[in-house]
Amino acid sequence: MPYYQHIVILTGAGISAESGLGTFRDVDGLWTKYDLNEVATPQGFARNPEFVHAFYNARRTNLLEAKPNAGHDALARLEREVEATVTVVTQNIDNLHERAGSTNVIHMHGELLKVRCHAAHHVMAWEADLDVNTPCSLCTEEGRAATGIPEHLGSLRPHVVWFGEVPMEMDRIYPELNTCDLFLSIGTSGSVYPAAGFIEEVRSRGRAHTAELNLEPSEGQSLFAEKIYGPATEVVPTYVDKFVSALS
Ligand code: BJW
């Protein structure tokens, strides 16, 4: 196993599936039960905010009951036990990487346990249910009035990235992709951009080893040098074990 200095790990819903959080595009995934245009677009939220709040309230409750699994634990172990810089770029809005012990996590699609207001974009931690009447406790009356959007005066929305919105922290993510020497993609179908394009970004530099660990081949599988298929709770710990023991 070569010596790596900078490891970037892209994760998706598949790493949290065995913690009981639903994926999106699998046979029983969230997008088979919900129309993504209704619950994961700004237009859907504008049309029916109560419905979107109910969708995220249920997922928040589910997350509060969930626990990190052996896949999350293994990535935290990797960060602890190798000398390399390990960055997890996650598309997931859950906090299971952090709860497993990973300390360098970038949430490109936001965080389920945060909300923000429409008026001043205050972001705050949030574990309770949310509804259209929940006001932003940080907004002043002037701030609310300044939005010019009467129906959104200081009201709150989930701090997540919907289709058509710009993902978060891209200015931190691209430098990571451009300087890593190992890129792992774990538990993602590779069907949502810009994350689906990260493998090409990494390959364009031509210096990083690339590996996909997933239940099944993703849409971008042909672009990865190494492919390992199986449940995240099995393949990720095995991969990390080999990695860590080769270094010791
Ligand atoms: C297991 C497993 C187990 C199962 N073990 N594995 C054409 C080209 C380029 C872009 C576009 C385009 N057409 C449209 C776009 C834009 C659009 C897009 O990509 N659309 C596609 C449908 C084509 N993208 C956007 O709008 C994004 N914004 C954007 O592009 O802004 C422009 C911009 C970019 C950059 C800089 C400046 C400007 C925003 C995308 C927002 C996505 N939001 C969601 C919801 C977030 C909140 C929430 O969670 O509710 O993010 S949608 C949903 O999909 C969620 C996920 O993060 C994301 C990815 O899903 P993921 O994680 O891959 O899950 P699945 O279910 O798809 O796959 C799970 C995988 O796990 C499977 O492969 C299983 O096999 C596997 N698995 N069990 C291991 N036990």
Torsion of CA 161, 166, 167, 169, to 10 degrees: -130
Note the pLDDT tens digit of each residue in 113-137: 999 988 778 899 999 999 988 888 8
- Ligand 1 atom index nearest CA of 71: 5
**How far, in Å, CA of 86 to CA of 11, rounded?**
13
Ligand 1 centroid – CA 139 distance (Å): 32
Ligand 1 centroid – CA 12 distance (Å): 8
Residues marked as catalytic: 109
Query: Which protein residue has the closest C-alpha to ligand 1 atom 22?
Result: 192
List the one residue out of 33, 34, 31 whose CA is nearest residue 52: 34
What pLDDT shows up at residue 96? 98
Ligand 1 pocket test, candidate residues 33, 92, 192, 227, most atoms within 8 A of CB: 192
State the average pLDDT over residues 147-151: 55
**How far, in Å, CA of 223 to CA of 83, rounded?**
27
Note the pLDDT tens digit of each residue in 43-60: 999 999 999 999 999 999
Query: Which protein residue has the closest C-alpha to ligand 1 atom 57?
Result: 91
pLDDT at 141 over 60: yes
State the average pLDDT over residues 21-27: 96
Assign 144 a pLDDT band (cuts: 50, 70, 90).
low
Ligand 1 centroid – CA 91 distance (Å): 7
Cα–Cα distances in Å, from 152 out to 33, 216, 231? 28, 42, 42
